[in-house]
Amino acid sequence: MRAPYAAVAALLAVAGCTSEVDPRPAAPAKEASAEPAVLEWQPVDGPVAATVTRNSDWTLTVAADGRSWELAGPASGSGGGSQGQRVSDALLDEDWAVVVLQDEAERRPSTATVTDLATGETFTLDGRSPVPTTTGGTWALGDDRLVHATVRGGRYCLAEVDLGSRRSSVAWCAPERHGFSTAQVSDDGEVSLLTFDDARPSCRTVVSLDDGTPTPYAGVEECAGWEGVRTDGGAVWSVIPDERRIEDARFHGRSGGAEVDLGAGIAGSLVACGGAAYFARDPQREGQPATLVRWTAAEGASVVYESPPGDAFLEPPRCGGDAITVTARTSAGDEQVSASVGPR
């Protein structure tokens, strides 16, 4: 299984989501046509086996075995690794870099190194922080904020860190025997989550966290959501049509009151970057490439990247704030490329 949906599937095996639905009626869905569009893709330096996230000035690289990482930029560089730990998350925008190390035995809380790109100063979040980390769980970065999972009073909670002041707080706690995953932070700081309950099968709901209250996305099929992001003037989310194939998602967009069917895509590949939403799509017919789809409320959907020829799939795209990076795995050879998308 690809890592993004495999990780969420593991969480769903032990928990699930609320069954609330948005009371507002959804507008009828319209089919979207994904016309080709152009981004100026450039090869990423270094081995394709490494996982790279970059912006206009900085490059964050995780070694192929996940045991070490390196942050390189115009002012300074840093890196690290630890025996018995692997990098679970490597997050970057124009102002901050966050690298999360997870205990391979899943016994110790995760450790995150946060770097201020303007000054090179770093600080650490771990199990001894005022709002401690926990083992595994979701992480997301945006708008000078970092969110991560924590545990309080036996409940699974979302912690929020104001990166400028380094102050942490608990933003929201899931009900008992409920959980969440797949956090996203929009350009204006709005947090989206996938919440789930412990039913069999689990009920999953895509929500935005408004002042500590989870509000379900409008128009998402009840209990079938997988992930969601807010973008300039709209939102994009995915649902799983067939629970026996949780890697195969169907994506939808909303602008104002209008909903658009964006077609098939890979569950766990949705990311917001530069005011747009991006997701990966497997080849739809033999001989076709894997593609990266971009959607904005103003411009609609477009294909902005196609893999080299051959059997192919894309790893989830990685946003660095003002650039997006894609890794394509193909039978004809792999490639890792990046393109500028403007300020986040």
Confidence of residue 20 (pLDDT cuts 50, 70, 90): very low
User: Counting every residue, how long is the chain?
Assistant: 344
Phi first, then psi, for residue 147 (nearest 5°) are -120, 145
CATH number at residue 166: 2.130.10.120
Secondary-structure breakdown of the chain: helix, strand, coil percentages, each rounded to the nearest 5: 5, 50, 45
Q: Domain count of the chain?
A: 1
CA distance 29 to 262: 10
Residues 6 or more apart whose Cβ sits within 8 Å of residue 33: 300, 301
Assigned token pair, 129 = 């922080």
Using one digit for the tens of pLDDT, what is the confidence trace for 233-258?
A: 899 999 999 999 999 999 999 998 89
Confidence of residue 38 (pLDDT cuts 50, 70, 90): confident
13 pLDDT above the threshold of 60: no
Please give the model's pTM, rounded to 2 decimal places: 0.89
Say which range, 90-94, 187-191, 206-210, has the weakest mean pLDDT. Answer: 187-191
For 247-302, give the DSSP string.
Answer: TEEEEEEEETTEEEEEEEEETT--EEETTEEEEEE--SSTTPPPEEEEEETTTEEE
pLDDT at 37: 58
Residues 6 or more apart whose Cβ sits within 8 Å of residue 113: 78, 80, 98, 99, 101, 122, 123, 124
pLDDT at 201: 82
Average pLDDT (124-129) is 97
SS3 47: coil
Average pLDDT (165-169) is 97
Phi first, then psi, for residue 93 (nearest 5°) are -135, -165
More confident residue, 1 or 102: 102
CA distance 269 to 237: 11
For 54-105, give the DSSP string.
Answer: E-SS-EEEE-TTSSEEEEE-SS-EEEEE-TTEEEEEEEE-SSEEEEEEEETT
pLDDT at 342: 78
30 pLDDT above the threshold of 50: no
Arithmetic mean of pLDDT over the chain: 89
Domain that holds residue 201: 3-340
CA distance 54 to 297: 25
In this structure, which long-range contacts are made by residues 224-228, counting pairs with CB atoms below 8 Å and at least 24 apart in sequence? Answer: 225/17, 225/194, 226/5, 226/8, 226/182, 226/194, 226/267, 226/268, 227/182, 227/184, 227/192, 227/194, 227/267, 227/268, 227/270, 228/184, 228/192, 228/194, 228/270
Using one digit for the tens of pLDDT, what is the confidence trace for 42-81?
A: 999 999 999 999 999 999 999 999 999 999 999 767 788 7
pLDDT at 2: 52
- CA 157 from centre of chain: 18
CA distance 213 to 149: 16
